[in-house]
Amino acid sequence: MDDLADRFLELIHGLEEVRDAITPEHAHATFDETTLQVFWKKWPSLSMWSGSLWSESPVAAAAAGMVEANVGSAVVMQGSFLAGILTERDVLKAAASGADLSATKVSEWMTPDPQSADPDTSAVEAAQIMLLNGFRHLPVVQDRTVCGVVSLRDLFSARIRRPQAR
């Protein structure tokens, strides 16, 4: 496992300690999208918005939640399983179509059954999956449970903050 993946796992293990010391406002001001998604999945009370949607939710409500949470995607759940992902690009396409976004369902614009990675996927592998398939957000799933979403921005940010040794 590369250094980034090791660091990511360390962060996940440290969440228990942080949970009791952080407010939702502080979490939103401090953490990147991936970290927030992990927090929201594990401790929904830390979120002002859960980061997940149902396929019957209106696109307008989904977009408002994404803006409020400052995220570029939201997982779409069917019960406890990942049914799809709605991204900022999907919302733009829906808006450009002229559809009434308050009446249009997320299921009409989401990417159904999205490709996902598991928590052991390296940063390089995650980036390759996203670049080869033309998407910017990759759900992280373990045992059919969504653990979070990693974005290209997250991977680039981690790379810039921690350059590879030469």
CATH code where residue 97 lies: 3.10.580.10
- Determine the Cα–Cα distance for residues 76 and 56; give it in Å rounded to an integer: 9
In a domain, 152, yes or no: yes
Which has more pLDDT, 37 or 137? 137
- Determine the Cα–Cα distance for residues 122 and 158; give it in Å rounded to an integer: 12
What are the backbone dihedrals phi and psi of residue 54, each rounded to the nearest 5 degrees, phi first? -105, 150
In a domain, 32, yes or no: yes
In a domain, 77, yes or no: yes
In a domain, 166, yes or no: no
In a domain, 109, yes or no: yes
In a domain, 95, yes or no: yes
Reply yes or no on whether the pLDDT at 137 is more than 80. Answer: yes
In a domain, 98, yes or no: yes
Q: What range defines the domain where residue 20 resides?
A: 3-161
Q: Are 86 and 74 in contact (CB under 8 A)?
A: yes
The total domain count for the chain is: 1
* Lowest mean pLDDT segment, chosen from 24-38, 42-56, 109-123: 42-56
pLDDT in tens, 89-135: 999 999 999 999 999 999 999 999 999 998 888 888 888 999 999 99
